[in-house]
Amino acid sequence: MSSSLIVGLVGGGTVGGGVYDIVEHTHKDFFRSLGAHVQVKRIAVRNLTKQRDFSVAAHTELVGDWRLVLDDPEINTVIEVMGGITEAKEVVFGAIAKGKHVITANKALLAAYLPEIVDLLKKHPQVKLGYEAAVCGGIPIIHTLQNDYLGDQVSQILGIMNGTTNFMLTKMESGADYGQVLAEAQALGYAEADPTADVEGHDVQAKIALLAKLAFGVHVPSDQIPTKGISSVASVDFEYARLLNATIKLLGMAQLSPDGKKLSVAVSPFIVPREHPIAGTNGSTNIVNISSRNLVSSSYIGPGAGRYPTANSIVSDLVRLARGLVGPPFPVDRAMPLEPDYTSRFYIRLRIRDQLGVIRVVGEIAERHGVSIYAILQNPISDPNDIHFVVTTEPARHSQVQAFADDIEKQDFTKGPPLFFAFLL
């Protein structure tokens, strides 16, 4: 086998530098052993005068405009690691239109424009798209779903897909409060100055949309995925989780209905039993668990981000391209109705002022909305004007629990909207 990949790298930051280092230094001999000539000809960066933390070879030119990458007729492969959506869309769409292979780590772009990208690829069938680094950067979950489950039937895919929030929740389990762990995550570089995409679940939303497409063949627009982040989770929730022999994790979930005819996709904190593999996945580590007919349950664990884990996934796509092993980016395509109203047991934390008859009223409201209470948990009262207590339910629909929570919020003894999320069953 002999192939020549002349690469244009768009983005010379943390991940881009890692990609360049692997391709031009540590992996150079490996590509030669494949009979492949792989060379980065140009790197497009925003600031040409910025000091880089990687050495640039003489055959590589730094340019200040990504269009110089797309317009170069010798470049046949574009690696997009610039981030954002607007310009990145121009890069990816422009490269495909010019017949250049594309490798990207941009999950937000892919999730936002998936149908358009698929349609464009159909018009340019010679172009290959690799996006292993877009989801759980250090776990080869994209390649796994593209290849290893084609003879199987996936029923559920769920996991920890954001290292920042998993780091924060791990710290909160030890007793730290939300504000404290957010500041620590920002100081360590895990969280951005504006952490909204991470803490409100938007990052996971884009990732689970891609995995749902891979696992079930269904395009799920991100804005149709019910999404709840961790900003309302408090250390007291971990106290109650311990009473339930469980912990709390922010998960992306996509699962078929029991009859296999509908798909539910959601992002939310979950109550995770201690015996589940996800419960013990701490710090910034990611894990994806796949339930299927043949393999039953399989877990894939690794770093979710970072310079070399993410760069490794990008280079893995490059290796497959050099070997001629890149297949269709989404092997399965089907239509299926979405079911946002999934059924589960639920954890509901109420914050109230102590009054006579509160438990009775809560029970009556639950009955009114068809929610069956499984248990009520309450720590010793230290301040009767600020009490947290928890209701756990029998299996109920999400809409029923939402209606129950909305009704509870209207009561004069309530000090804010109840927090609720599902048990991982």
Q: Which positions are catalytic? A: 207
Of 180, 178, 174, 182, the closest CA to residue 239 belongs to 174
Token digits for 400?
A: 């029923």
Rounded to whole angstroms, how far apart are CA atoms 210 and 114? 9
Rounded to whole angstroms, how far apart are CA atoms 330 and 115? 11
Output Rg (C-alpha) for the chain, integer angstroms. 24
Cβ partners under 8 Å of residue 340, min gap 6: 224, 226, 264, 265, 266, 398
Number of C-beta neighbours around residue 259 at 10 A: 6
Burial class (CB within 10 angstroms; exposed 0-12, middle 13-18, buried 19+) of 109: buried
3-class secondary structure for 236-266? HHHHHHHHCCEEEEEEEEEEECCCCCCEEEE
Task: Give one DSSP letter per residue of 285-313, joined into a string.
Answer: EEEEEEEETTTEEEEEEEE---HHHHHHH
- How far lies 247's CA from each of 26, 200, 236, 257, 421, in Å? 40, 19, 12, 25, 12
With b for 16 or more beta-carbon neighbours within 10 A and e for fewer, the 36-66 pattern comes to bebbbbbbbbeeeeeeeeeeeeeebebbeeb
Rounded to whole angstroms, how far apart are CA atoms 74 and 410? 65
Cβ partners under 8 Å of residue 71, min gap 6: none
Site of tokens 């040409």? 48
Q: How far out from the chain centre does Cα 417 lie?
A: 27
Cβ partners under 8 Å of residue 125, min gap 6: none
Of 110, 70, 114, 27, the closest CA to residue 316 belongs to 27
Token digits for 245?
A: 């022999």
